[in-house]
Amino acid sequence: MAKVFAPAKINLTLHVTGQRNDGFHLLDSLVVFADVGDRISVRLAAANKLDVTGPKAAGVPTDGSNLVCKAADLFGLPVHITLSKHLPNAAGIGGGSSDAAATLLALAELSEDSRLPDVSELGADVRVCLMRQAARMRGIGETVDHVADLPPLFAVLANPGVDVPTPDVFNALTDKANAPMPKKLPRWKTTKALIEWLATQRNDLEAPAIACAPEIANTLQSLRALPAAKLTRMSGSGATCFALFETQDEAKKAAAALQNCQPDWWVVPCHFS
């Protein structure tokens, strides 16, 4: 059996810079990974099978529509996969893509074959999820460059439990040709400097996502009200939002306070890398 952790993918920035003739949107995004996520385990079997367990298993498909199954089919080694689901489904934090990437890594370990298939047909985020470290993702996800020496970031993730279909958010985006991040990213020496720079950037999908699901605005407002919160933003196409803090202790205390006020939300403190 092989077991691999599937971390949450967080878009610290998400600039939509254009749209191709085939409808795919062009992005420029600074991506990090959290120390919270799902778990994948695989073992050899006669045919591919997927079981989904865990606190967030409800509603997660176990058929061929799941990216985990598509990743296994692509690799070509029949296995029994168990996905322990701890991240909210369809929440803008790359859960499905990270699960697919973790499945491929587990299959490579199980088969002792480090060669991975072309993952372009699995969606825009799988390539960066295979990297599993801070990166700049551009184009439709095909260009991924590691971002070295990122200062530590401590955060609170919050999801109000609303469904925000990604196509609806992109359709609600009126301006699809926005400025990218600077050609050369700064070398941030401190957490404070990184947060201050992030405040000058944006997530272009935040406003259209709020138009689709007003609960996101309430989530961001609740995060802004947390003591010591330095910056709040939505990740991906929503509905998960984050608040950034300078210390781990601040993030943990803030998460406990928010969970107490919003017991029905998914709220976790975490560290980004």
What are the tens digits of pLDDT across the range 49-74? 999 999 999 999 999 999 999 999 99
Concerning whether 9 is annotated as a catalytic residue, the answer is yes
How far CA 112 is from CA of 90, 100, 116, 118, 183, in Å, comes to 31, 18, 11, 18, 38
149-204 pLDDT, tens per residue? Answer: 999 999 999 999 998 999 999 999 999 999 999 999 999 999 999 999 999 999 99
Tell me what pLDDT residue 135 has: 98
CA distance linking residue 8 with residue 73, whole number of Å: 23
The pLDDT of 6-16, averaged and rounded, is 98
Q: Is the pLDDT of residue 27 over 90?
A: yes
Structure tokens at 51: 């079981």
Residue 234 — very low, low, confident or very high, per pLDDT cuts 50/70/90? very high
Measure the CA angle with vertex 230, ends 225 and 236; round to 5°. Answer: 90
Q: Is the pLDDT of residue 115 over 90?
A: no
Q: Is the pLDDT of residue 96 over 90?
A: yes
Q: Is the pLDDT of residue 264 over 90?
A: yes
Q: Do domains 2-143 and 148-272 have the same CATH topology?
A: no
State which fold the 148-272 domain adopts.
Answer: Alpha-Beta Plaits (3.30.70)
Residue 90 — very low, low, confident or very high, per pLDDT cuts 50/70/90? confident
Task: Give the active site residue among 56, 125, 204, 230.
Answer: 125
CA distance linking residue 6 with residue 95, whole number of Å: 8
CA distance linking residue 17 with residue 12, whole number of Å: 16
Each domain of the chain, given as residue ranges in start order, spans 2-143, 148-272
User: DSSP labels for 167-234?
Assistant: HHHHHH-S------S-SS-----SHHHHHHHHTTS-BTTHHHHHHH-THHHHHHHHHHTSTT--EEEE
The pLDDT of 109-118, averaged and rounded, is 90
Region 2-143: CATH code:
3.30.230.10
Q: Is the pLDDT of residue 142 over 90?
A: yes
Concerning whether 49 is annotated as a catalytic residue, the answer is no
Tell me what pLDDT residue 259 has: 98
3-state secondary structure 46-62: CCCEEEEECCCCCCCCC
The pLDDT of 100-129, averaged and rounded, is 94
Task: Give the active site residue among 9, 70, 85, 230.
Answer: 9
Parallel, antiparallel, or unpaired: how do β-strands 135-139 and 25-44 relate?
antiparallel
Residue 114 — very low, low, confident or very high, per pLDDT cuts 50/70/90? confident
